[in-house]
Structure 1
């Protein structure tokens, strides 16, 4: 798994040294506003973030993919994470699908970073990993996240309930080789 850059972001596999950044991210109630039961729990102790990093790193070994740390290229600051993960399911009747996700610290919101990361991971999934399909889902009330998914070309599907949260399903098929 080779790290890669976008215009403003550096994406790389998580390291245990990212635990403090993960704690800052996942202990923030604003970050968890639309996650409810679908995105994990609000962290209350720094040790929990190290457990989370180790859990993600185990996904790399088990599945060859997982969420990656996203750093601001200009400064190296931990912004959050983005990437693909293999989800066994069932979620919305789907099993064994690749889920596109992203989560950033609030001071990085509304600057196009989420779109930039999501687009990069969609491209990585289709062009590098050659996945046949990429899916995502978001809280139906999370207009910002839903806008990103639609802007990168995922098609909106049905609404469904996941862990008591009304969600919207998105997916895209690999368009194949570029001409």
Structure 2
């Protein structure tokens, strides 16, 4: 299901055909430098996340992470979108992209299309972004989106800045 589009991108629900892309974006050490999760070792790792996290969030909350697809090629190049974080009782804007798409404005373009949907699809008036200390690129993107640091906290054993915005 397509949720939003921008000049270059389509934001949509993940689907079974995205399994390889999900696997690849979670097995590359460079991508996971500031992500508190283990590298995927096999395709089954991605299948488990797709079924037990992403699809489960769609079913439970009506929303979850969204695939980011290039309009020109149909290629999935990352994800962007909401996730309910029980530890914070807030909806987080999360994003991750393959390195060849970094520094091209993709993150800002996708997040700018995603954030306005949070109010209606997630029924919230605010959003957060958890950014591990040292992740200057993600922090710069959050600032560019108008988010401000509201706290420093811990998430999955790592120090994070909690960025916040009203919608």
Compute the TM-score of the two structures, normalised by the length of structure 1: 0.87
Q: Structure 1 stretches (4+) deviating beyond 6 angstroms?
A: none
Counterpart in 1 of 2:60?
62
Unaligned runs of 5+ in 1: 175-179
Counterpart in 2 of 1:151?
144
Map 1:140-179; keep pairs closer than 5 Å: 140-174=133-167
Matched, 1:72 2:70: yes
Please give the per-residue CA displacement for 1:47-82, whole angstroms capped at 9, x wherever unaligned. Answer: 111111112011101011100111111111110111
Matched, 1:20 2:11: no
Q: 1:84 aligns with which of 66, 82, 85?
A: 82
Unaligned runs of 5+ in 2: none
CA drift of 1:113 comes to 0.4
Map 1:21-40; keep pairs closer than 5 Å: 21-35=21-35, 37=36, 40=37
8 Å contact from structure 1 (residues 16, 54) kept in 2: no
Compute the TM-score of the two structures, normalised by the length of structure 2: 0.93
CA drift of 1:161 comes to 2.8
8 Å contact from structure 2 (residues 152, 159) kept in 1: yes
CA drift of 1:119 comes to 1.5
- Structure 2 distance, partners of 1:127, 1:63, is 13
Matched, 1:131 2:124: yes
8 Å contact from structure 2 (residues 4, 114) kept in 1: no
- Structure 1 distance, partners of 2:122, 2:133, is 29
Please give the per-residue CA displacement for 1:17-57, whole angstroms capped at 9, x wherever unaligned. Answer: 1000011111100011111x3xx321010111111111201
The SS at the match of 1:3 is strand
CA drift of 1:163 comes to 2.9
